[in-house]
Amino acid sequence: MKKDVYDNPLIERYSSKEMLYNFSPEKKFGTWRKLWVILAECEKEMGLDIISDAQIQELKKFENDINFETAKEYEKKLRHDVMSHVHAYGEQAVNARGIIHLGATSAFVGDNTDLIQIRDGLEIIKEKMVNLIKSLKDFAHNNKDIPTLGFTHFQAAQLTTVGKRATLWLQSLLLDFEELEFRIENLRFRGVKGTTGTQASFKELFNGDFEAVRELDKMVTKKAGFNKLQGVTGQTYDRKIDSHTLELLSNIAQSAHKFTNDMRLLQHLKELEEPFEKNQIGSSAMAYKRNPMRSERISSLAKFVMSLSMNGALVYSTQWFERTLDDSADKRLSIPQAFLAVDAILIIWLNILDGIVVYPKVIEANIMKELPFMASENIIMEAVKNGQDRQEVHEIIRELSMETTKRVKLEGLSNDLIERIKKDGRIKVNPEKLDSILEPGKFTGFAAEQTEVFINEEVEPILVRYNHLIKKIDSDLKV
């Protein structure tokens, strides 16, 4: 098979069929035709008697039968994508040819279709995010009681739990989901606004009846499936919408990247591990390696999405008056590819959670390398209860800690602080009591309780609200 042209990896390797369809030519130009039918129906319903029922039926007959080759030939001659499809549609619906695109400008089909694709793309993202929230919730709940080292600056700090840490990933995702809901709820349709947004052509068609044109605008918006309408526009919808959309997608990518940072570090510590398939190869040279390739793929795609958020800002801020065309090529690239990449990120993230492995014994071993130091304050308090001077006990532990640190760092040996304290004998705490102080579960604060409350109060309401979206998502990787 000849492979002599560029393959977009978002298509070939990463994104789902549903998201690829959402930005496909079939969806795009099929939506153009649906919008032309809606416009004709609404114009007739508003009393425009130059449009007949027969013409509308003819438009509907060919609505899903796009003659792409004919449109391509017209575009070679006309150098105008919308008019090429108007002519191609007109060759099929001959009797309706004269009323296709009546009163509209190119932005009627172009911009309104963009908004429909954005809306439908956000719905696809929403479904995957709901299922991801469910997976992360389950992981957090199942591991809420497993103590683990907390880290600040990637230096060992107070203990937390595996589940509590997962709620931090969930918290970020919920913030993104809240924004997603807001964007979907407040996405406004462009509607019918005319060449520069003044509806001048529709004023002519409806003999100066402003209220009739307003009603037409609302009717078209409703038939296109939108609850809200942009009250004013230039020729195009406000490009701030693209900027907001790309910022939202960037925010989701940021949350995913943060998760993979933690995941890769934890896999290095051998505490958590992403799925590793039976025949998967980690390295071409080092046969023993189990690389976090899924997390690395997410982080790579996330960087790409985050970089695209700048495009929305650049396009919006540099528009002139009612419109310029220096947005078009950029939008054709940045909007679809940001959606495709986030779609891929969520698929991979779901794949990781579907087979993530926790290693409690390694986690416990890593805790015990540090816990004796963390327990020193508890030991001091116990010694004071037994009548010893706090400052004297503090100095003893400081001395013994320095000796232990030397053993650990210079000799590569285990942390033996507790054994040193027992052997030293100056601190009056029962040996059995010293051992009981080192139970990791005593050092996790309210981590488990916080996890439960967070799940019950903040996560479950979302899952109940969107229970109809919870299903087994195909998270198998293409490659």
- The three-state DSSP-derived secondary structure of 124-141 is HHHHHHHHHHHHHHHHHH
Average pLDDT of the chain to the nearest whole number = 94
The pLDDT assigned to 86 comes to 97
The pLDDT assigned to 290 comes to 78
Buried b (16+ CB within 10 A) or exposed e, 274-308: beeeeeeeeeeeeeeeebbebbebbbebbebbbeb
Instruction: Output the CA torsion sign for 455, 460, 462, 468.
Output: positive
Question: Coil, strand or helix: which one is 375?
Answer: coil
In this model, does residue 71 exceed pLDDT 50?
A: yes
In this model, does residue 287 exceed pLDDT 50?
A: no
* C-alpha–C-alpha distance, residues 59 and 53, integer Å: 10
**Domain assignments of the chain as residue spans, ordered by start:** 9-99, 107-145+161-195+202-358+458-469, 376-437
Q: How confident is the model at residue 375 (pLDDT cuts 50, 70, 90)?
A: confident
Of 72-86, 109-123, 283-297, 335-349, least confident by mean pLDDT is: 283-297
Instruction: Output the CA torsion sign for 106, 107, 108, 114.
Output: positive
Instruction: Output the CA torsion sign for 387, 392, 398, 404.
Output: negative
Pure H helices in 14-105: 17-22, 25-45, 53-61, 68-78, 81-92
Domain boundaries 9-99, CATH class: mainly alpha
Instruction: Tell me if 14 sits within 8 A of 344, measured CB to CB.
Output: yes
406, with CB counted inside 10 A (0-12, 13-18, 19+), is exposed
The pLDDT assigned to 149 comes to 96
Backbone angles phi, psi at 113, to 5 degrees: -65, -40
Residues 6+ apart with CB under 8 A from 277: none
The token duo for 477 is: 């990787």
Instruction: Tell me if 143 sits within 8 A of 222, measured CB to CB.
Output: no
Catalytic residues: 153, 283
Q: How confident is the model at residue 373 (pLDDT cuts 50, 70, 90)?
A: confident
Give the number of C-alpha atoms closer than 13 A to the C-alpha of residue 433, restricted to the C-beta side: 14
Count other Cβ atoms within 10 Å, centred on residue 412: 7
* C-alpha–C-alpha distance, residues 135 and 140, integer Å: 9
| The residue type at 42 | C
Q: What is the pLDDT of residues 426-442, one digit of tens each?
A: 998 888 888 888 899 99
Q: For residues 332-349, give the mean pLDDT.
A: 97
The pLDDT assigned to 284 comes to 46
In this model, does residue 167 exceed pLDDT 80?
A: yes
Q: Which of 356, 153, 337, 120 is nearest to 259 (CA)?
A: 356
Q: Can you name the CATH fold of 107-145+161-195+202-358+458-469?
A: Fumarase C; Chain A, domain 2 (1.20.200)
Instruction: Tell me if 437 sits within 8 A of 375, measured CB to CB.
Output: yes
Give, in degrees to the nearest 5, the angle at Cα 348 between 26 and 142.
135
* C-alpha–C-alpha distance, residues 44 and 53, integer Å: 8
Q: Can you name the CATH fold of 376-437?
A: Ribonucleotide Reductase Protein R1; domain 1 (1.10.40)
Provide the total of helices (H) and of strands (E) in the chain, helices listed first: 20, 4
Q: How confident is the model at residue 361 (pLDDT cuts 50, 70, 90)?
A: very high
The pLDDT assigned to 282 comes to 56
* C-alpha–C-alpha distance, residues 21 and 124, integer Å: 11
The token duo for 433 is: 């009591």
Does the pTM surpass 0.95? The reply is: no
> What percentage of residues in the chain have a pLDDT greater than 70?
97
Residues 6+ apart with CB under 8 A from 99: 40, 50, 51, 55
Q: For residues 285-304, give the mean pLDDT.
A: 84
What torsion, rounded to 10 degrees, do the Cα atoms 377, 383, 386, 388 define? -120
Give the number of C-alpha atoms closer than 13 A to the C-alpha of residue 110, restricted to the C-beta side: 21
